[in-house]
């Protein structure tokens, strides 16, 4: 029993249809009050058995479960007197690594045992439970073994994926009080190489309905598959002694997954990711997301917007609402003419350089699919090879926004008059007003930019949460919703001169973030060093919209800002694979202590 699985005590109340529930019975002093096969729910997000046990006396215990003669690795031990919401993910969890470090020294009398069982409708399952009653955390000759066996018949409710050998569970939770429909959800998943038969082809994502217990396939997309196939070398050392009893790592395949989720406000839902099916056929999901052209000059459409990227730089060049195709937004007034201009840097006597001046970028990558279209361009800044930068866009079906991520890395020190990011530029005549949230006044500022004097700067805090341009005549708006903003350094702290966000008007109108921008200061010819190792990153959602009648011109922006800054939360739950070791070994620096030495409940 040294290899028996030890698990953590928590409780749940499972809302599932009982499957051949058994009456109380005793075998060797072990009483099974109830045992049933259950459906996934947020607290137990997989097909399972659940058994409520009663012991003859309170005891420290080990529990082992087997199904049809096979010992389960994925088993949970919970205390029946600890209440937990079945509609929410569990709070406590002990990963497989925890089993080898310390045993559970809690006293149990009415434990609950839950095991991962990929049951099929109408099939019979023989479940054997073995409980070891102990005096201490360690096993001894005086321990008492209790066993009980029950046979259950699975419900006749259909289960997706008979041809798929494996699945992972993703619990998706909504926290902002907004019903989510076809919301994009991303997750990075890991697999063993023998489970990979072409992950892009074989993976299916299934939404589990908590009312009907039926799974429905939803549009999904797999991308960025990477393989780490090197094996740990367990060969003996020079003295012929084993290097270690188990590998420190196993070959692994990782892949990104994106799918569309429906989650009611302030609730959780279970999505099952099926894989490991060498016979799976390619599947085509139909959404309104379309990509045309050759990278970097792509045109991306969905049911809400059309966006065109510059054929030279891959930066946003034009965008329009599908409902108003005759009122596109663009710039085309200065140099490269794009809407989205930077990261940028001005280090005279070299020209003011922007990522939008690439023609072409050093690196170009694009991704198309039914759930996400992606464009990535990166490389050295034009004329300033000491600095690397990247611009990425992500587009999704059915939504009036896209995501823009930018980053800039200083590889060698530079002296600048301007270091900027997050610049959006339009032709002056296309915009009449601007609005933004002002943190200093705790209010929204609206400004008539149509009549503002040329080269007047409207300043706001650097971390402005949202900002919008709109036209009162055409009823078109373009908003930036800030999702992430970070500046850091490796060799030294960041050195920023009075960072701020601002709007400027001329033959164009634009907003931008000045990180170090002495060029707009009272002493505009003072140079500011930017140290080696400095890194600047931004992530924005850019929203194209028509202001709603009877509401403020920025009401739509505020609604989307709440939604986009409170994304759906995910938890990935996986079965413990048989190849996972039951003990853990770590590599410590300088043969240092692990901290577990002398601990009473250490195995």
Which range has the worst mean pLDDT, 35-49, 142-156, 234-248?
A: 234-248
Q: What is the mean pLDDT of residues 432-441?
A: 96
The class level of CATH for 25-153 reads mainly beta
pLDDT tier at 593, thresholds 50, 70, 90: confident
Which CATH topology does 166-275 take?
Answer: Immunoglobulin-like (2.60.40)
Q: Cα separations (Å) of 357 from 217, 293, 296, 478?
A: 43, 20, 13, 23
- Residue 477 tokens read as 């708006």
Residue in 486, 538, 532, 537 with CA at minimum distance from that of residue 386: 532
**Whole-number average pLDDT of the chain:** 91
Residues in CB range of 354: below 8 A, 6 or more apart? 336, 341, 342, 343, 344, 381, 382, 423
CB-based burial label for 404 (10 Å; 0-12, 13-18, 19+): buried
Residue % of the chain over a pLDDT of 90? 80
pLDDT tens, position by position, 511-535: 999 999 999 999 999 999 999 999 9
Instruction: Determine the pLDDT at residue 258.
Output: 98
Tell me the C-alpha distance between 150 and 599, whole Å.
38
Q: In the chain, list all ranges with CATH 2.60.40.
A: 25-153, 166-275
pLDDT tier at 589, thresholds 50, 70, 90: confident
Look up tokens 């990247």; give the residue.
Answer: 390
pLDDT tier at 85, thresholds 50, 70, 90: confident
CB-based burial label for 35 (10 Å; 0-12, 13-18, 19+): buried
Q: In the chain, list all ranges with CATH 2.70.98.10.
A: 290-553
Q: Torsion angle of alpha carbons 282, 285, 288, 289, nearest 10°? A: -40
Q: List phi, psi (to 5°) of 201.
A: -90, -40
Please, what's the largest Cα pairwise distance for the chain? 90
pTM above 0.85, yes or no: yes
pLDDT at 63 over 70: yes
pLDDT at 17 over 50: no
Tell me the C-alpha distance between 135 and 78, whole Å.
19
pLDDT tier at 239, thresholds 50, 70, 90: confident
Tell me the C-alpha distance between 403 and 393, whole Å.
6
DSSP state of 356: G
pLDDT tier at 79, thresholds 50, 70, 90: confident
pLDDT tier at 309, thresholds 50, 70, 90: very high
**460 - beta bridge partners?**
501
pLDDT at 353 over 80: yes
Instruction: Determine the pLDDT at residue 557.
Output: 98
Instruction: Determine the pLDDT at residue 7.
Output: 31
Candidate CATH numbers 3.50.50.60, 2.70.98.10, 3.40.50.10860, 2.30.42.10; the one for domain 290-553: 2.70.98.10
Q: What is the mean pLDDT of residues 543-567?
A: 96
Q: What is the mean pLDDT of residues 122-140?
A: 92
Residues in CB range of 460: below 8 A, 6 or more apart? 436, 438, 439, 445, 467, 500, 501, 502
CB atoms within 10 A of CB 594: 10
Q: Torsion angle of alpha carbons 551, 447, 330, 400, nearest 10°? A: -30
């Amino acid at each position: 029993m040294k290899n028996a699985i030890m698990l953590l005590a928590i409780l749940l109340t499972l809302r599932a249809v009982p499957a051949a529930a058994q009456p109380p019975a005793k075998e060797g002093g072990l009483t099974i009050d109830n045992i049933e096969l259950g459906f996934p729910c947020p607290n137990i997000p997989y097909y399972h058995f659940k058994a409520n046990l009663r012991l003859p006396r309170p005891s420290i215990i080990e529990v082992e479960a087997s199904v049809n003669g096979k010992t389960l690795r994925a088993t949970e031990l919970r205390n029946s007197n600890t209440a937990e919401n079945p509609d929410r993910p569990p709070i406590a969890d002990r990963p497989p690594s925890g089993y080898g470090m310390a045993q559970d020294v809690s006293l149990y009398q009415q434990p609950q045992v839950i095991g991962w069982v990929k049951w099929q409708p109408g099939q019979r399952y023989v479940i054997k439970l073995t409980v070891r009653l102990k005096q201490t955390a360690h096993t001894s000759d005086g321990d008492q073994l209790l066993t009980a066996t029950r046979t259950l018949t699975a419900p006749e409710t259909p289960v997706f994926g008979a041809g798929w050998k494996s699945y992972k569970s993703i619990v998706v939770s909504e926290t902002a009080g907004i019903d989510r429909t076809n919301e994009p959800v991303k997750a990075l998943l890991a697999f063993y190489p023998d489970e990979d038969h072409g992950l892009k082809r074989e993976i299916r994502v299934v939404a589990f309905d908590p009312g009907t217990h039926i799974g429905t396939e939803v549009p999904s997309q797999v991308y960025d598959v990477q393989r780490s196939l090197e094996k740990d070398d367990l060969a003996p050392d020079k003295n012929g002694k084993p290097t270690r009893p188990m590998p420190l790592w196993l070959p692994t395949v990782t892949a990104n997954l994106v799918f569309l989720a429906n989650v009611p406000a302030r609730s959780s839902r279970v999505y099952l990711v099926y894989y490991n099916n060498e016979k799976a056929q390619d599947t085509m999901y139909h959404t309104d997301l379309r990509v045309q052209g050759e990278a970097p000059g792509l045109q991306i459409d969905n049911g809400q917007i059309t966006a065109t990227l510059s054929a030279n730089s891959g930066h946003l060049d034009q965008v329009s609402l599908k409902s108003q195709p005759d009122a596109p937004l663009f710039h085309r007034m200065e140099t490269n003419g794009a809407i989205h201009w930077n990261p940028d840097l001005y280090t005279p006597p070299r020209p003011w350089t922007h990522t939008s001046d690439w023609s072409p970028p050093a690196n170009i990558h694009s991704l198309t699919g039914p759930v996400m279209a992606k464009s990535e361009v990166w490389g050295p800044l034009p004329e300033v090879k000491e600095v690397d930068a990247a611009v990425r866009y992500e587009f999704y079906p059915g939504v009036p926004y896209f995501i823009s991520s930018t980053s800039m890395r200083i590889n060698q020190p530079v002296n600048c008059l301007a270091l900027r990011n997050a610049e959006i530029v339009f032709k002056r005549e296309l915009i009449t007003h601007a609005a933004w949230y002002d943190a200093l006044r705790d209010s929204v500022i609206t400004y008539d930019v149509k009549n503002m004097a040329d080269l007047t700067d409207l300043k706001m805090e650097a971390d402005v949460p949202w900002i919008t341009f709109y036209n009162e005549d055409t009823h078109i708006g373009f908003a930036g919703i800030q999702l992430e903003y970070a500046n850091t350094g490796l060799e030294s702290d960041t050195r920023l001169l009075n960072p701020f966000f601002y709007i400027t008007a001329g033959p164009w109108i634009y907003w931008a973030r000045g990180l170090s921008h002495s060029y707009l200061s009272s002493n505009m010819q003072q140079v500011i060093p930017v140290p080696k190792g400095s890194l600047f990153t931004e992530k924005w959602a850019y929203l194209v919209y028509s202001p709603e009648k009877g509401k403020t011109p920025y009401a739509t922006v505020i609604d989307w800002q709440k939604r986009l800054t409170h994304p759906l939360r995910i938890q990935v739950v996986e079965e413990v694979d048989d190849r996972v070791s039951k003990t853990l070994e770590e590599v410590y620096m300088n043969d240092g202590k692990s901290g577990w030495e002398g601990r009473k409940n250490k195995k």
